[in-house]
Structure 1
Amino acid sequence: MQKVILMGGTKAGKTTLLEVLKGKEFREIDTRTQSLEFENKAIDTPGEYIENRHYYTALISAAQEAKVIALVADATADQYFFPPTFASIFSRPVIGIVTKIDDDEADVEYAKETLEMAGVSKIFLTSAVSREGLEELAEYLAEI
């Protein structure tokens, strides 16, 4: 996996996604990411950073350390925080990741539409629980 930065709303599943991509078993994570977390091959961001525009400069600065930007959309969310053409801010590939696609409340099409309006180049549909879509995502990240 190449260095990726995950951006998405609170409880979108960014930290959980990183854990399962590292090969760990799915588990409910009760703690929220409180600040930018730089790991060996990933940067995890707090959901509040995309939810509050005054944090955009922190996201843009942190993204300079990544090879790929990933906008993460929770398929069960009622609201998304990616402005139209948000991806155009970055000089690196910007992908979309829809999480929780196997949830009974999932609206995958709405999440995909939001990511498309944000300007992502490719969308991955994933579930940390069933591991659906994770192999394809991991292969893509390894090739970038």
Structure 2
Amino acid sequence: MKKMMLIGRTDSGKTTLADVLQKGYSDARKTQSIETVGTIVDTPGEFAENRRLYRALLITSYDTDVVAMVMDAGENHTLFPPNFALAFNREVIGIVTKKDLNSDTAYAESSLLKAGAERLFIVSAHTGEGLEELKKYLSYKEESS
């Protein structure tokens, strides 16, 4: 199983997504510090919102296989600059959350691709839409030779 780090704005759905993927349900709460839920590393939104805390994201990513930039489907501006993913020496994917609340995901998808996401997943932790595809992706870990 791939170990994934979630980064994104406060209230983008990172903790709910981590809980649903690992436990099948969510304990809705505000993440105050870096937390590990099974094979998912959940980071506080403040770490992505404050450039002075980027170092913590970079260091934390060293212990993961993949970094996931997370955006709420309803966001109308991004905090991920173009090519943000280049800062990580890991595979970087994009996850658009809250698909059930906003069917227009075009802005979030475009923003994540411009930021350098290699692959996109459009999900809803509440309806389960897109979660199986993400789980399948996470279940496959390439072996080093």
Question: Does the TM-score normalized on the shorter chain lie above 0.5?
Answer: yes
Separation (CA, whole Å) in 1 of partners of 2:37 and 2:85 = 23
Give, in angstroms, the shift of residue 102 of structure 1. 1.6
Report the CA distance shift for 1:40/1:130 in structure 2 as closer, same or farther (over 3 A): closer
TM-score, scaled to structure 1 = 0.92
Give, in angstroms, the shift of residue 91 of structure 1. 1.1
Separation (CA, whole Å) in 2 of partners of 1:26 and 1:37 = 14
Separation (CA, whole Å) in 2 of partners of 1:125 and 1:63 = 22
1:130 alignment counterpart: 127
2:81 alignment counterpart: 83
Alpha-carbon RMSD across the aligned residues, in angstroms, is 1.4
2:45 alignment counterpart: 47
- Opposite residue 94 of structure 2, the aligned amino acid is G
1:13 alignment counterpart: 13
Separation (CA, whole Å) in 2 of partners of 1:88 and 1:19 = 27
Q: Given that residues 51 and 81 in structure 1 are in contact (C-alpha distance below 8 angstroms), is that contact kept between their aligned partners in structure 2?
A: yes
2:31 alignment counterpart: 33
Separation (CA, whole Å) in 2 of partners of 1:110 and 1:101 = 13
- Residue by residue, what CA displacement relative to the aligned partner does 1:67-97 show, whole Å, maximum 9, x if unpaired? 0110011011233211110011111110000
- Opposite residue 39 of structure 2, the aligned amino acid is K
Identity of matched residues, %:
45
TM-score, scaled to structure 2 = 0.91
Unaligned runs of 5+ in 2: none
Separation (CA, whole Å) in 2 of partners of 1:13 and 1:38 = 15
Give, in angstroms, the shift of residue 3 of structure 1. 0.8
Q: Number of aligned pairs?
A: 141
Q: Given that residues 26 and 129 in structure 1 are in contact (C-alpha distance below 8 angstroms), is that contact kept between their aligned partners in structure 2?
A: no
- Residue by residue, what CA displacement relative to the aligned partner does 1:106-131 show, whole Å, maximum 9, x if unpaired? 53000001101100100000001110
Counterpart check, 1:109 vs 2:106: yes
- Opposite residue 134 of structure 2, the aligned amino acid is L
